[in-house]
Amino acid sequence: MNGMNRMKTWRWVNESATDRVIRVLGGLALGYAALALKVPAGVAIALGIVAAVAVVTGFTGFCLIYRLFGLRTCPVAPAKVAR
């Protein structure tokens, strides 16, 4: 660590704090839209699914799409595992 105060992160976290906040707030907004707006049932279900995925990925910090494309918005490099 060389005396530096580094933020600990898990190996699987690939989203920055900003990305995570945006996902949670966006997911909550989509969830509200799915429940409050008068939209067809199919649209409400689709909005609900997208909202749930956004909130879950925001809370966990892991996005499978980012992983599949090798993307990473988290500024901290993943911790190295001793083998």
Asked if residue 50 is part of any domain, the answer here is yes
Asked if residue 4 is part of any domain, the answer here is no
Domain count, the chain: 1
Asked if residue 27 is part of any domain, the answer here is yes
The per-residue pLDDT for range 13-43, each reduced to its tens digit, is 888 999 999 999 999 999 999 999 999 999 9
Q: In this model, does residue 55 exceed pLDDT 90?
A: yes
> Which residues span the domain enclosing 22?
17-69
Q: Mind giving me the DSSP string for 30-64? A: HHHHHHHS---HHHHHHHHHHHHHHHHHHHH---H
Q: Given this model, what pLDDT does residue 66 score? A: 87
- The token pair at 52 is 């749930």
Asked if residue 11 is part of any domain, the answer here is no
- Higher pLDDT residue, 70 or 76? 70
Give CA–CA dist 24/82, Å, rounded.
Answer: 33
Q: Given this model, what pLDDT does residue 5 score? A: 43
Asked if residue 61 is part of any domain, the answer here is yes
- Give the Å distances, CA to CA, from 26 to 3, 4, 31, 36, 48: 37, 34, 9, 15, 12
Asked if residue 37 is part of any domain, the answer here is yes
Give CA–CA dist 79/64, Å, rounded.
Answer: 19
Asked if residue 39 is part of any domain, the answer here is yes
Asked if residue 31 is part of any domain, the answer here is yes
